[in-house]
Amino acid sequence: MLTFHSELTKLRRARTELDGGLLVTPYECPERVELVLARVLESGLGEVREPAEHGLAPVLAIHDRDYVEFLENCWDDWVAAGRKGEAIAWVWPTRTMPGRVIPEHIDGRLGHYALGADTSICEGTFEAAMASKDVALSAVDHVLATGQPAFGLCRPPGHHAAIDQFGGYCFFNNAAIAAQRALAAGRSRVAVLDIDFHHGNGTQQIFYARDDVLFLSLHGDPRHCFPHFLGHADETGEGSGEGFTVNYPMAPGTGYATWVTALEDAKTRIVEAGCELLVVSLGVDAYEHDPISAFRLASDDFTDVGLRLGQLGLPTVFLLEGGYAVEEIGINAVKVLSGFDGVG
Ligand code: OKS
Ligand code: ZN
């Protein structure tokens, strides 16, 4: 299958991530793109293409304009405030202090638009996020035009990004932007299947009250796992979206036998809902040796995942989400894609 990739996704190279009380070098780094790209090339998966530029209109079909402008200006505002480190949120509206007014000071604005303190904003973040959504859009455009599958080597990832919030290494919700693109192209219902270890809280929020996007997520139980405040099984959608959000929270330590049962249930629901296109939020951090996750999928399981997704017979776009710091990120991502192509 075709891969879409842009060197511009590497324009974000944050130096700091708040992790266990320390500022560490971020897990979500440009080297991830290089590892996956190298594996795509050496595996002979297929041609690699550059995305086209799609501008901001498809972003504004998902995200609020004030949020997009915040992201575009955040780094300059932070530098103008005389700050020395990277932009990290540290004060928030809370249960007892709900924010009614969006603050003007950059510290308050960061808290308004951030879901956590893990994700620093640095120079190049906005530009990389723009390239990442262009990768997603070109990949889905290829699927829409040809019916053939495509892989978007997105980075930064997207599934934690909500209508007006960033965090969990995500800024623009690439999967949501791609799903909306498919609807705009005339598909009447699209499935977003999120197999990243972490719950896709942003994608869920964006489509929660809608029945034109079926969102399904297999993830670590939020009682124990990031993002901690969304992704429970009783979150099933609201209004006309009731029944179009499906969560499969699973305990830390879950292995493939349990995980694949959830995957098969998700496939059944995708078929029953009559979805015409499948967007896969392809995180490979369910891998047993992922440094920040807690499922126990073995490397070879990823081939089987791809094969099972291929059985749906749907036009499918894969968009990279998480998966960290180990060579297996490329190996496992390409195993899913090759398994899908039936050459695993
Ligand atoms: C804090 C760790 C925050 C976890 C972010 C998870 C990102 C991810 N140091 N989402 O799919 O992989
Ligand atoms: Zn993840």
Report residues of the chain scoring pLDDT below 50: none
Task: Indicate whether residue 285 lines ligand 1 (CB < 6 A).
Answer: yes
Please report whether residue 83 resides in a domain.
Answer: no
Q: Does a structural domain hold residue 81?
A: no
Residue 22 falls inside a structural domain:
no
Reply yes or no on whether 232 is catalytic: no
- Ramachandran category for residue 274: left, alpha or beta (phi over 0 → left; psi -120 to 50 → alpha): left
- Does 76 reside within a domain? no
Q: Which domain holds residue 133?
A: 2-15+28-51+127-340
| pLDDT at residue 343, rounded to an integer | 80
Domain assignment of residue 263, yes or no: yes
Do the domain assignments include residue 89? no
Q: Is the pTM of this model over 0.80?
A: yes
Q: Considering the domain boundaries, does residue 314 fall inside one?
A: yes
Whether 267 is covered by a domain: the verdict is: yes
CB-ligand 1 contact for 118 (6 Å cutoff): yes
Amino acid identity at 118: D
Residue 233: CATH number of its domain: 3.40.800.20
Running DSSP on this structure, what letter comes out for residue 185?
A: T
> Distance, CA 132 to ligand 1 centroid (Å)?
18
DSSP assignments along 99-127, one per residue:
--S--SSHHHHHHHHBS-SS--B-TTHHH
CB 270 within 8 A of CB 214: yes
Q: Of the listed 159, 160, 198, 199, which one is catalytic?
A: 160
322 touches ligand 1 (CB under 6 Å): yes
Q: Give the count of beta carbons closer than 10 Å to the beta carbon of residue 76.
A: 12
CA 232 – CA 219 distance, rounded (Å): 10
- Specify the pLDDT at position 344: 65
Tally of domains within the chain: 1
